[in-house]
């Protein structure tokens, strides 16, 4: 039944022999290479459970750990880099990652790996603050908010961090949902009809169905697709990379915000003692890590188009124009996401906040934000609201000109105090300049969000936490 195109007659590994005997060209073709490592060359033995310092461990800062998934699944019966020795064990190797990969990585396992990394981006590892702790630590620190990157009503540093957290939470929920829905193709045959298997079992439909279920169980899946062509639906690939694209979008948003904040000198990413900020300008502190996040995220977002187009252009029961594309787009998408999350872990662990700079910028704009409160106080003192509104508009324009044209400090409070229509002294106006009065419910929102949403999620997944990241710049 099996045509022997992988390993020929010697394809007799104990853990896959039973499945192989009944399998003809089903998409996730062969089953259970337990803890297969990547050998540095085809003559080197494959080692189970590779440790630190192994060839696999050193590749790409450890991202090839993905290949140690419990089931590494052979795709499309490729033969070039697979050899079987007399004992039926398999030796696998990648001379270079960018050669066409032989293995199609079991996406359920690598998505579990991604779940660990997304989850870990929230949590602390030892003595460093991570995103949840960062949001809590700075929930009460007022800062200037921006809409259209123009000064807007104040928020807090912790509240802004909670928005980054919320993006990651949405990604984690999408990832968990996708994991919960994943099915195996099973033994469907060349066009998905299972005709060969029905013949094999002398027309016994129940045994054909049992075979599907046994294969699913062996591979660690709850079920197989009930109907298919020759392959599992390529829409699955698109859905998986859409999850990765979502993670990349969140990471890109975080990195963009941080790059702007570093420009404003309010918050900075980590900067090593011996790090060179610029090869030309020694004084600079370029946000290299955040720029890497943005660059890799852009790659993943564009990469998600590959399986989408592939899914849309499959012909009938199957066409092979998916194969070469997916062996690049899917593994590289996961590898890029792993690098992105490494960078995010490293950046969040070392964020530096400059409260004095934040306060200075906020106070330079706060008089404009306080005009509504000032106008209400003046109305309570007997003023006419419509007239006061017009006067505040005129005085705000004058104060703005002083700042932009003359390069002076914002003197709006002085201008209002000098206008008899308001009947307010400068001392009274300055009392309204407490930033905490203008952040609304931001601190309460952050605390409630962490207690009710983030912390329960972390507690529920505490067993998969513990990933750290070291970045060389």
Active-site residues: which are they?
148, 278
DSSP 354-421: -HHHHHHHHHHHHHHHTHHHHHHHHHHTT--HHHHHHHHHHHHHHHHHHHHTS-----HHHHHHT-TT
Contact call for residues 167 and 254 (beta carbons, < 8 A) = yes
- As given in the structure block, the two tokens for residue 226 are 């009930």
For residue 13, give the nearest of 124, 122, 91 by alpha carbon. 91
Contact call for residues 8 and 44 (beta carbons, < 8 A) = no
CA torsion 381→387→390→394, rounded to 10°? Answer: -70
C-alpha–C-alpha distance, residues 270 and 388, integer Å: 48
What are the helix (H) ranges across 153-304?
A: 157-181, 195-200, 205-219, 235-263, 288-303
C-alpha–C-alpha distance, residues 386 and 311, integer Å: 61
Phi/psi region, residue 52 (left: phi>0; alpha: psi -120 to 50; beta: rest), is: beta
């Amino acid at each position: 039944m099996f045509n022997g195109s992988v390993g020929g007659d010697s394809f007799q590994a104990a853990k896959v022999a039973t499945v192989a005997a009944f399998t003809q060209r089903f998409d996730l073709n062969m089953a259970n290479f337990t803890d297969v490592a990547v050998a540095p060359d085809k003559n080197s033995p494959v080692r189970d459970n590779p440790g630190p310092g192994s060839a696999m461990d050193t590749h790409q800062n450890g991202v090839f750990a993905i290949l140690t998934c419990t089931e590494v699944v052979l795709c499309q019966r490729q033969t070039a880099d697979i050899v079987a020795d007399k004992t039926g064990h398999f030796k696998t190797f990648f001379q270079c990652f960018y050669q066409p990969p032989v293995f199609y990585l079991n996406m359920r396992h690598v998505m579990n790996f991604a779940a660990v990394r997304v989850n870990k981006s929230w949590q602390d590892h030892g003595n460093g603050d991570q995103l949840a702790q960062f949001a809590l630590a700075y929930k009460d620190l007022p800062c200037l908010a921006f809409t259209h990157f123009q000064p807007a009503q104040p928020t807090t540093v912790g509240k802004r961090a909670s928005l980054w957290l919320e993006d990651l939470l949405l990604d984690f929920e999408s990832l968990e949902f996708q994991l919960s829905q994943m099915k195996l193709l099973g033994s469907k045959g060349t066009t998905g009809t299972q005709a060969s298997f029905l013949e094999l079992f002398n027309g016994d439909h129940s045994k054909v169905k049992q075979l599907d279920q046994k294969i699913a169980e062996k591979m660690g899946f709850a079920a197989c697709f009930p109907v298919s062509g020759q392959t599992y639906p390529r829409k699955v690939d698109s859905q998986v990379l859409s999850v990765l694209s979502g993670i990349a979008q969140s990471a890109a948003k975080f990195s963009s915000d941080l790059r702007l904040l570093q420009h404003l000198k309010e918050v900075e990413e980590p900067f090593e003692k011996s790090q060179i900020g610029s090869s030309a300008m020694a004084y600079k502190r370029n946000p290299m890590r955040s720029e890497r996040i943005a660059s890799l995220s852009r790659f993943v977002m564009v990469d998600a188009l590959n399986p989408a187009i592939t899914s849309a252009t499959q012909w009938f029961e199957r066409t092979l124009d998916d194969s070469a594309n997916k062996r690049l787009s899917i593994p590289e998408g996961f590898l890029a996401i792993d690098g992105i999350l490494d960078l995010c872990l490293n950046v969040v662990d070392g964020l530096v906040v400059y409260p004095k700079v934040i306060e200075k910028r906020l106070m330079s704009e706060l008089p404009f934000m306080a005009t509504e409160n000032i106008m209400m106080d003046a109305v309570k003192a007997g003023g006419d609201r419509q007239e006061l509104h017009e006067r505040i508009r005129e005085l705000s324009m004058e104060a703005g000109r002083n700042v932009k044209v003359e390069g002076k400090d914002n003197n709006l409070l002085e201008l209002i105090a000098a206008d008899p229509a308001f009947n307010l002294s400068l001392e009274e106006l300055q009392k309204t300049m407490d930033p905490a009065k203008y952040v609304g419910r931001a601190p309460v929102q952050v605390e409630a969000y962490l207690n009710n949403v983030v912390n329960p999620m972390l507690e529920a997944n505490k067993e998969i936490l513990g990933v750290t990241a070291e970045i060389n710049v």
